[in-house]
Chains A and B, each alone.
Chain A
Amino acid sequence: MANQNANTYAVELNDLSVFYGTHQAVGGINMKIQRNKITAYIGPSGCGKSTVLRSINRMNDLVAGARVEGEVRYHGNNLYGQGIDPVEVRRRIGMVFQKPNPFPKSIFDNVAYGPRLLGIKDKTMLSEIVETSLRAAVLWDEVKDDLKKSGLALSGGQQQRLCIARALATQPDLILMDEPCSALDPISTLRIEELMQELVSTYTIILVTHNMQQAARVSHMTGFFLANETRTGHLIEYGATTEMFTKPKDKRTEDYISGRFG
């Protein structure tokens, strides 16, 4: 994956369509994701936000019958091109899920999971990676004294930050977050939002959210998706968040943001 610096966009979606069996879930998506920015995906349930997100790190490959058409360019390379291994893609592009899903292992083992997959066994090296990742996820101070404790023994918000630390440990440069705060209380939500704003100086983040305030608060760019009569999702409008929320170009965007449907 060469010419990392030649391109100002982290990801480019070119005429992307995703099918589940015969059902087309999304179609004709064109989108350029800027580096070191938070891009929010919003839209009513079932419009294909997760589907688009999961096609960026090829998680959809795991769904039987899922098929992708079009291009996903990551630093200029088509992720669906020949010779691209989805395992490598998923290591480079971290993912955080809606429900915190730490492994039933210790905090240390959770964060070290990724590095160990890559064959790192050296204890001091692992400890270093674990500490760096936990610090980056602003969890270090809370857990540094009991790294041996099970990841499941943490609170929901801490678990989600643990999952973020786990994703950071394989040194991705793009992080996909699918409604990372929807299972959390307001305080934990706030902490994750702060964390995102810290991370964005080094990482590119794509965030799916149902929370308009959240999108308005944290994101730089916003994409609005909507499904048509055949339940196929399309990108209706995409632009800077401030503009989208103050003077949307499309009537449907305005209706959705002002809470008139969805």
Chain B
Amino acid sequence: MTTASPTVQSALETMTKADRQLRKRNARARRWSAIYLGACIFALIGLILLFGTVLNNMFGVVVKTYAVPPSQLSPNQALENLSEAELGAILSDYFSKQNRGIQRARVLVRDNLLGKNIDPARLSGEPISSLFAGRDYPPEVAELKFSELTVPQLIQLLESSISQSQLYQMVVKDVLQPRIPQSWTLLEGIFNWNRIETEAQAKYPGEAIMWHSWFSWAFVSSELTSDPSTTGLRMAIVGTVYILILTVLISIPLGIGAAIYLEEYAKHSRFTALLETVIRNLAGVPSIIYGMLGLALFVRALGDDAGITNGRVFGITDTNGRTILSASLTMSLLILPVIIINSQEAIRAVPASLREASYGIGATRWQTVWRTVLPAGLPGILTGVILSLARAVGETAPLLVVGGLTFLTVDPNSIFSKFSVIPIQIFSWTSEPNPQFKNVAAAAIITLLGILLTLNAAAIILRQRYSKKLRGA
């Protein structure tokens, strides 16, 4: 065997050494991958615990009591299958026996058929034929005044105008008056059914215990009340949707516009470098600080003082600056830095060759941005926008500061309305002493998670659809 040259020799030696170290290197790789696996498992357990807690509170076992049991009202048939006439008979029977029953019947007719805000003078002065002009009413009451109607006549008016299911809801709310005096969680129900049964028998003799989901269509669509068994999330959902839409309208044009300016127009100078640094840092500012800013700027200065965000300059006088508009402006400020940064990266990722192609044909800067850069960057931009919106939907602190209400009795109906949002509602319910509000809060959390997941899914679908199109498939 010929001897190798010294350099080759030393190279060979290094390699043999490396070979001996291979076992060590592999062992090291295995150790690290075990640590990473551990981290994943830890995260997974956390996620399972989170969902477990929410589901454990959202489903459970309850005792339901009634002022009048349904079996007494309708012994042979399920109550919700009764005809309008039969339901009407139950109502009219009940209100006739009750003292002040007639007042309640009048309120029902007024709120459901004439509107809460009807002029009291019309109500007391005009006959039925004019109050109900153009609608169905029994002919014999035509000449009577509203206050002269008897309970059966009032109920007849209801029957002729509203649906069977609405009547059923009225029977439930006014006659049955279901209450849930006690509830147990899902796990308690699964493992301690017998103990729950004996406990319930002792406290509420004769009442049945049953499985119950606190999340239901009724919960999502009902108005807020102070009773956990009847309360609903509708006002908070409407508020969240209002703020979401308005935030989109404000922050998307501003955010994408700023990103386009910084990437495509601005000359690189010290000023733009400073601007970018500031934006990057703003993205990390705690959200409550945006709340303080919103309070000072939008609620106080632009609202109570200038009269813009409270609608005074538009002729609206019944609100202060704590409106949906103020909340949306605050949220827009909060997510603008994130939208700008994401859009900038998406725009930067558009290949320079596409820009050159566009300019090379004789496009102006504006045309290049609109026809080439934006369409190519859109999937990335949209993903960033939707993810930051998802963040905004879950934010609580800044909106509490800006004046989100925890108890709202009417649906928001304009950008100058007072508002509540889902996370604020959850926050307020979890701080109630009555433990059943924990169940209600869990149902609201599931609603919020549902909205967030929908937004994230939309981001993924949009991204895939667009990038497929761009790749030319």
Contact = CB atoms under 8 A, between A and B. Distances in A.
A105 B470 CA distance: 7
27 contacts: A57-B360, A59-B356, A64-B267, A87-B364, A91-B362, A94-B360, A97-B356, A97-B357, A101-B356, A101-B357, A102-B357, A103-B354, A103-B357, A104-B375, A104-B376, A113-B358, A113-B363, A114-B362, A117-B361, A118-B362, A150-B472, A151-B472, A152-B471, A152-B472, A153-B472, A170-B361, A170-B362
Contact of B362 (A90, A99, A103, A151): A90
Chain A, interface size category, equals 20 to 34
Nearest to A176: B360
A19 B139 CA distance: 96
Chain B, interface size category, equals 20 to 34
Contacts of A118: 362
A1 interface: no
A104 B469 contact: yes
Contacts of A169: 361
B281 interface: no
Contacts of B362: 87-92, 114, 117-118, 170
Interface in B335-391: 351, 353-354, 356-364, 367, 371-372, 375-376
A59 B361 contact: no
A89 B375 CA distance: 25
Contacts of B356: 59, 62, 95, 97, 101
Contacts of B471: 104, 150, 152
B268 interface: yes
A60 B357 CA distance: 13
B360 A95 contact: yes
A117 B359 contact: no
A40 interface: no
Contact of A59 (B353, B354, B360, B372): B360
A166 interface: yes
A117 B472 contact: no
Interface string B264-277: 00011000000000
A99 B267 contact: no
Contacts of A99: 353
Interface string A35-67: 000000000000000000000010100101000
Among B267, B351, B361, B375, residue most surrounded by chain A Cβ atoms (within 10 Å): B361
A167 interface: yes
A154 to B, nearest CB: 9
Given A87-B364, A104-B376, A163 B470 contact: no
* Nearest 10 Cβ contacts at the A-B interface: A91-B362, A150-B472, A152-B472, A101-B353, A95-B360, A104-B470, A153-B472, A114-B361, A90-B362, A101-B357
B59 to A, nearest CB: 48
Contacts of A113: 358, 361, 363, 371
Contacts of B360: 57, 59, 90, 94-95, 97, 167
A166 to B, nearest CB: 7
Nearest to B470: A104
Given A64-B267, A170-B362, 17 more contacts: A59-B356, A62-B356, A87-B364, A91-B362, A92-B362, A97-B353, A97-B356, A97-B357, A101-B357, A103-B358, A104-B354, A104-B375, A117-B361, A117-B362, A117-B371, A151-B472, A167-B360
Contacts of A170: 361-362
Contacts of B357: 97, 101-103, 163, 166
